[in-house]
Structure 1
Amino acid sequence: MAIVQNWMPPSRENWELICRIWQYFPVITTIQWILDWYPQGKTSTDSRFNIPGKIAWATMEMAGFITLLYIMFTLPSELGIKELPWGNWTMAGCFTIHYTYRAILSPLFLNPSMSPIHPLVWTLAFLFQVFNSTSIGGWLAGYGPTTVHEWAGRFWIMEIGLVIWAWGLLGNMFHDDDLREIRRATDRKQRKEAEKLGKPPESIHKVYMIPKNGLFQYVLYAHYLCEWIEWAGFWIVGGWNCHPARAFLVNEIATMLPRALQGKRWYIKKFGKEKVGNRKAVIPGVL
């Protein structure tokens, strides 16, 4: 059942239009190279319009896999496709696993706290998810490969891609948890002190330290790097001609790279250049 006729799920003409527009997303991110204002996370600002961090993150990120799954379950019947090949569902599964972790487990169950997010950031992130999942979902649900024969002969390449995707996801989880442990340790310490003094513990949503484990020894945004590796593997699974997966990787790098460089400036300002040391922003030994 269509939510918006010819748009959700999209007709081929509208899907191709969305894909063309989506390829120009890096142009929008150029403003991040000019402005350091980014009201989210460690650089969040006080605003009466702010959305609580956990709620904002969950709602803006869930739009991705919900949209993709909706398209996967509705578009094929509209196109007269009885069954999608297993390769399509494999990629849809990878996408859904990642965003189940990122949109549900991470903010709602694993993160001890999250800084508030400005509605502008929430809106842009929500639109990112909708455009991206519509682009990928349309390709997987009928506008890309529709028979198992189109995946034939690529099994070993797909296996390599899946291994890269899995290692990227595990690396992302590992480094995310290292960041969480900073706040968990602070929370444990503050609770003990508060208990001794008979006072309620202080908020930890603005507690930051320089992470040091894993790839954090070399870069400040190791979780970004691992996510790029993850989606590079996803593109390999889909193949060189899977332009939605390619656009996803390019657009992630386009928006996360300036954010990482901005974050490095923030770390240097807060902790000093000596404590940051030789760590790069996101690519070891390079950038």
Structure 2
Amino acid sequence: MAIIENWLPPSRDNWETLCYIWQFFPVVTAIQWVLDWYPQGKTSTESRFNIPGKIGWATMESAGFMGLVYIMLTLPQELGIKELPWGNWTMAGCFVIHYLYRAIVSPLFLNPSMSPIHPLVWIFAFAFQICNAISIGGWLAGYGPTTDNDWAGRYWTMEIGLVIWAWGLLGNMFHDDDLREIRRTADRKQRKEAEKQGKSPEGVDKIYMLPKNGLFQYVLYAHYFCEWIEWAGWWMVGGWNCHPARSFLLNEISTMLPRALQGKRWYEKKFGKDKVGSRKAVIPGLV
């Protein structure tokens, strides 16, 4: 049963149209190069319409992997495909693992606190996830490879791609946790002070410090860089002609790069250029 007729799951024509349009998403993100307003995370703003950080993040990020899984389970039946190749499920599994961590485990169980999210950010992120799910899901569920023979002859590139994906994911998790430790340390200190004063501890939504471990010695957004490595490896698994994986990587870079540069300006303003030092925004030694 389709959730949205001809879209979830997508018809062939709709899928091809969306994939064509989706490759031009970087044009949309170009506004971030001239607009510093991004009401989320460390640059969140006060608004009565704000969505609580944890709930907002979990709901907007979950749309991607849930949409992809739904398409993988329904589209093959519509197309008369009895069984999808193992390579398709491998890529889908990698995608789901990443977003289970990013959308569920990280915000709801690991993060001590998260700043509120403006509804506009939520809407755009939710739309990004849905479009990405349709693009990737359609390719994996029947409009891309449909037999094991379609994966034959490139197993070694798939293996290398999976290794790169795994190291990127682990790097992303490591640097995410380094940022969390800043919040956890502040939370422990705040709770200790509250206990001494006999008061209830308050939240730590706006505690920020310069991260220093791992690649944070060289860039301020090491978790972004590791995520790009992760999805570059994932694209390698799918192959050079896997245009949904290519679009996903390029679309992520196009929206996260200006955000990282904006974040570097924020760090320099808050802590001073001397403390930020020679660290780049996101790519060691380059940007």
Give the alignment's TM-score, normalised by structure 2.
0.99
Matched, 1:217 2:211: no
Letter in 2 for 1:202: E
C-alpha distance in 2 between matches for 1:274 and 1:17: 49
How many Å apart are 1:202 and its aligned residue? 2.6
Letter in 1 for 2:188: R
**Contact 2:182–2:209 (Cα < 8 Å) also in 1:** yes
Letter in 1 for 2:85: P
Residue 46 of structure 1 corresponds to: 46
Equivalences for residues 1-287 of structure 1 within 5 A: 1-287=1-287
Give a deviation string over 1:228-287, Cα, whole Å, max 9, x none: 000000000000000000000000000000000000000000000011011000001110
C-alpha distance in 1 between matches for 2:5 and 2:195: 58
Percent of residue pairs bearing the same amino acid type: 81
**Contact 2:7–2:134 (Cα < 8 Å) also in 1:** no
Note the residue ranges of structure 2 that are not aligned, 5 or more in a row.
Answer: none
Give a deviation string over 1:132-189, Cα, whole Å, max 9, x none: 1110000000000000001011111000000000000000000000000000001001
**Contact 2:228–2:249 (Cα < 8 Å) also in 1:** yes
C-alpha distance in 1 between matches for 2:57 and 2:147: 36
C-alpha distance in 1 between matches for 2:50 and 2:175: 27
Determine helix, strand or coil for the equivalent of 1:77: helix
Letter in 2 for 1:218: Y
Which stretch of the first structure deviates more once superposed, 201-210 or 171-180?
Answer: 201-210
Give a deviation string over 1:171-227, Cα, whole Å, max 9, x none: 000000000000000100111111111122232011000000000000000000000
Letter in 1 for 2:178: D
Letter in 1 for 2:211: P
The structure 1 segments of at least 4 consecutive aligned residues displaced by more than 3 Å after TM superposition are none
Letter in 2 for 1:244: P
Determine helix, strand or coil for the equivalent of 1:169: helix
C-alpha distance in 1 between matches for 2:248 and 2:173: 20
The number of equivalent residue pairs is 287
RMSD: 0.5
Letter in 2 for 1:9: P
Note the residue ranges of structure 1 that are not aligned, 5 or more in a row.
Answer: none
Which stretch of the first structure deviates more once superposed, 197-206 or 130-139?
Answer: 197-206
Letter in 2 for 1:205: D
Letter in 2 for 1:40: Q
C-alpha distance in 1 between matches for 2:7 and 2:65: 17
